[in-house]
Chains A and B, each alone.
Chain A
């Protein structure tokens, strides 16, 4: 069976859902222009040939088209918004936080907002405004679901689950994991491709997975950091430290059962995230575990995250900025050394 990249898997997921359900449509900048790119990272490439009326190219108006998507969703359609870089969501913050996330609650549960917002994250040689990881900001916005697929299998299954979900879902995708080809290929890409089943499948939101089993320490990581964590676990194994790598896949809702079960076994936790450390989502996970799992923990919970600075441009500085497997190994080793 051929392996497919995340970009291809997302494209097939969109194609299947649009074929299955007439209400599903895409909107965003540069997504369906003939002779164009299929969005910033080729995900929608060619879909305009098959779904001409449902690939809506928008003006450069992020606040506008997030709001448009909300309006369409309330009227019974199922929009998939494509924002070229997650950084641009900040232009649409009012729509996402005040309107999209709150509309159902404000209506007393009478309104349904089936809306998917796809957003590429990650420091990738583009400096401070095209490389952020804004996941943590949205953790404090009740009303949204947050999904972070790290493999092609999950990307397709979670996208399809998000499209069929009746709530607004932020789907964060990582630029170094897309496997985009041609002129839109990224240097430093990590292979996140998968073999995909022929039949229709979903990966439920809110359900994590154990990527590698281990006994000494639990490493929790999403997106690119999950791949770095797997590399770190491999190195730790060579040192005789058995690391369990958990990919929660969704940040909201969060698979506490999976994490708690792992923590009961390993008694030590490292939470890894690519965004800045202060106020990061890893802080939320760590604080909750500190409260609920104190009887099981034998070491302080460690966090590995970026420093509290904007994403620097110079490749030398960017490499220092973004957590790598060295830092994950060091954090895990330190916890195990405590005993």
Chain B
């Protein structure tokens, strides 16, 4: 497939934006400036960016406790996320959500659900609404590998299948559910094999290849929009950072980590762009600088923003 150069560079920029956002956020946490906890997306950028690049306005994503990458890929602003992570009323959830619940439905992402697989039935329900309203939009439902062992995953995917709904279930298999190796917790060799149980197509792909993710997603969306129902896409990847903020990843073998770092999606895509002479190192460096400036601007503005009035805690519960 031949791609427009600007499109390829936009993918690269999004992936870089996610990586640098995460690195900046981690630093803010370690400095003790940012409150809360974080689950970071480093190493999985190819999936969020590849999936969301295939979506259109009006499509919706659901996310997990590891949502920063999904949000940025879907098009929430760096500023609205940074403000939320600092608990400011100017954040995307007015400071009520925090890292694990970022989202903005007006931009195509419902607040992230931090209960593993908790958003799977919800994603199915959003797709049911599209179908009942005779709209052609689709839902992309991100889950981690551990989610396939939750009951909500089974119930939600089965209903999407039974009703042939326009929803794509995207498993980000980073090999670990927190610290537990996923293949000690399932007997199947591929999580996509679970699709057989629901009578829908399942495919396992290289999630660190952003273009492969994009192309697979395009095919799945095509099916979904034509009423052929859901697809289960397992994207193989690796979390090159801790599960949460102070995790030192001692359970990840050194050699495995080493290989993963060589195989991480941004490095690979960069090599591809340079070796195919799509972009020079200098162009990519400019993208980095632009991203850095955007993030620094957001940090400054978030730090300067007024905090919430304590009594605002009592608002936003009922209509």
Contact = CB atoms under 8 A, between A and B. Distances in A.
Interface of A: 25, 53-54, 56, 58-59, 61, 63-77, 94-95, 98-99, 103-112, 142-143, 145, 165-167
Nearest to B141: A71
A106 B159 contact: no
B234 interface: no
Contacts of B103: 107
B94 A72 contact: no
A111 B110 contact: yes
Kindly list the 4 A-B residue pairs having the minimum CB-CB distance in the complex, ordered from nearest. Answer: A67-B121, A71-B125, A64-B155, A108-B94
A270 to B, nearest CB: 30
20 contacts: A53-B132, A54-B132, A59-B159, A59-B162, A63-B121, A64-B158, A65-B121, A69-B125, A71-B123, A71-B126, A72-B129, A74-B110, A74-B122, A74-B125, A75-B125, A75-B133, A76-B133, A77-B132, A107-B93, A107-B110
B105 A74 contact: yes
B319 A61 contact: no
A75 B122 CA distance: 10
A35 to B, nearest CB: 20
A68 B111 contact: no
B26 interface: no
Nearest to B157: A64
B3 to A, nearest CB: 32
The residue in B121, B129, B162 that gathers the most chain A C-beta atoms within 10 A of its C-beta is: B121
Contacts of A77: 129, 132-133
B181 interface: no
Interface stretch (B39-47, B112-120, B168-176, B294-302): B112-120
Given A59-B155, A64-B156, A111-B111, A70 B319 contact: no
Given A98-B115, A106-B101, A110-B104, A76 B129 contact: yes
A302 to B, nearest CB: 32
Given A58-B159, A104-B316, A111-B111, A67 B120 contact: yes
Contacts of B121: 61, 63-68, 70-71, 95
Contacts of B127: 71
A105 B125 contact: no
B7 interface: no
Interface in B95-148: 95-97, 101, 103-106, 110-111, 113, 115, 118-130, 132-133, 139
B132 A112 contact: no
B317 interface: yes
B172 to A, nearest CB: 20
Contact of B158 (A56, A61, A112): A61
A108 B155 CA distance: 28
B45 to A, nearest CB: 25
A94 B121 CA distance: 11
B122 A67 contact: yes
A211 to B, nearest CB: 27
B182 interface: no
B93 to A, nearest CB: 4
A99 B117 CA distance: 11
B118 A25 contact: no
Nearest to B127: A71
A108 B96 contact: yes
Nearest to A252: B318
Given A74-B122, A104-B318, 13 more contacts: A25-B132, A63-B155, A64-B121, A64-B152, A64-B159, A67-B120, A67-B125, A68-B121, A68-B125, A71-B125, A71-B139, A109-B316, A112-B319
